[in-house]
Structure 1
Amino acid sequence: MKIDFVSDVACPWCAVGLASLQQALKNSADAVQATLHFQPFELNPDMPPGGEDVNEHLARKYGGTPEQFEQNRAAIRARGAAVGFEFNPAGRGRIYNTFNAHRLLHWAGQQGDDQQLALKRALLEAYHGRSEAVEQDDVLLAAVKKAGLDEARAQEILASDEFAAEVRAAERHYQQAGISSVPAVIINDRHLISGGQPPEVFEQALRQLAQSV
């Protein structure tokens, strides 16, 4: 079974969804054999360097009050805790451009599925767990190191525009396929599960699809 996990490092529900999906894959290992691939989606492709205060960004983009945003963060923290992902209690602080993170994830995918997963988790933990600025090279390289990937090679990529075209092409592909929100979990290029679902929802879907293959 092939699973494409379309997501953005900047998306808290993507952190919840990934942890939830991983738990579902573990729980269904008796029936499901799957490869997991991470595909790029930018929630804020035009975000300038330095980012934007998270509350100002959310109010401008969606409307709402700081109190509502904190209630939402508390709900996401609870959902994350239920699947083993620990969010920073103080929140993200700022929203950042994630294009370079996606370029590194594309490269990591060429090194292997396990390496790409390790980098994805390291980036999510850096941003959502520790509120680090995932637009900054030192933060990205620390995640590369944690994932056991080649830091010198990653630095070369960051200093160039390598893999920019590939990431843009992948983003266009999923947008043209109708993906407008993330996480989007696409199984065998045909079946879509949207949102950061609980593990039991993912598990049920995985088992059903495994039986139909």
Structure 2
Amino acid sequence: MKPTIKIDYVSDIACPWCAVGLGNLNQAIDQLSDQANFEVHFRPFELNPNMPKGGQDAIEHLTEKYGLNAEQVKTNQANIRAKALEAGFEFHPEGRKRVYNTFDAHRLLHWAGQEFGLEKQAILKKELLNTYFCLAVNLDDQHNLIDAVTRSGLDQDRALKVLKNNEFAKEVRTEEATYTNAGINSVPAIILNDQYLMQGAQPPESFVNAFAQLIEQS
């Protein structure tokens, strides 16, 4: 009987390295799917919880946040685009235009996991990352979020109700607090079997090695 490895993937869809890490994680899971079952839970983390509606110009935001000039930011973005492509995400060649608050996206992810299960949650997670980094559209426009829901094969009418009625807000806030109170202040953060923490966009081989150890232990 194959062991089950539980993975809590703490991340934000406004985090490019979270997309890279997720792609690498999925590659590792594919390599070892014959040796273990994998149970992936997507947990919320907001990089910009206080970002107002309308967001902020991405270059402006990143220069302010990291103390870089615009050319340095663009160089970093090109490097991330290359890493993302290796991980299975074709980021928009001009980069994301603005940085947005992602709370609504996290509410939709919570809804998908609760009402449709982890596989559908994973599909929606990838589509939301695609929406932001590959299509580079406005996350404040709920039509773009609903388009991601539709591409995921989920109920768009139910999703609209979730957004309009502010459903799952308390649940998402509670989960966010759980991980920030545990000391997580950067993402992606990957927790294996509620015991082992891996931080950052690890390459596939790092995940493979970690999973192999857990399989051996079981």
Same fold by TM-score, threshold 0.5 exceeded?
yes
1:159 to 152, 164, 183: 164
Cα displacement (A) at 1:32? 2.4
Which position in structure 1 is the counterpart of 2:8?
A: 4
How many angstroms apart in 1 are the aligned matches of 2:168 and 2:111? 7
How much has 1:204 moved relative to structure 2? Answer: 0.9
Quote the Cα distance in structure 2 between the aligned partners of 1:194 and 1:182: 7
1:55 positional shift: 1.1
- Post-superposition Cα deviations, 1:126-161, rounded to whole Å, max 9, x if no partner, equal 110010112221001000001111101000011112
Q: Which residue of 1 aligns with 2:142?
A: 137
Equivalents in 2 of 1:209, 1:73: separation in Å?
34
Alignment of 1:1-213 (within 5 A): 1-110=5-114, 111-213=116-218
**Bigger shift: 21-30 or 166-175?**
21-30
Paired residues of 1:122 and 1:143 also in contact (CA < 8 A)? yes
Give 4+ residue runs of structure 1 displaced > 6 Å after superposition.
none
Q: Deviations over 1:25-48 (max 9, x none)?
A: 001123221111100000000000
Q: Which amino acid aligns with 1:65?
A: N
Q: Shift of residue 80 of structure 1? A: 1.1
Q: What is the distance in 2 between the residues matched to 1:212 and 1:59?
A: 45
What is the CA-CA distance between 1:209 and the residue it aligns to?
1.4
Give RMSD over aligned pairs.
0.8
Q: Deviations over 1:45-82 (max 9, x none)?
A: 00000100011111222210111111111111111111
Cα deviation digits, residues 61-115 of structure 1 (max 9, x gap): 2210111111111111111111221111100010001000000000001111111
- Look up the SS of the partner of 1:35 in the other structure: strand
* Residue identity matched to 1:126: T
> What's the TM-score, normalizing by structure 2?
0.96
Task: Give the structure-1-normalised TM-score.
Answer: 0.98
Aligned length in residues:
213
Q: After superposition, what is the alpha-carbon deviation per residue over 1:162-184, rounded to whole angstroms, capped at 9, x for unaligned?
A: 10000000000000111110001
Do the aligned partners of 1:101 and 1:135 also contact (CA within 8 Å) in 2? no
User: Where does structure 1 lack aligned partners over 5 or more consecutive residues?
Assistant: none
Distance 1:80 1:151 in 2: 28
Tell me, what secondary structure is at the counterpart of 1:102? helix
Contact 1:123 1:134 in 2 (8 A): no
Matched residue of 2:177: which SS? helix
- Distance in 2 between residues matched to 1:155 and 1:83, nearest whole Å: 31
Q: Which amino acid aligns with 1:116?
A: Q
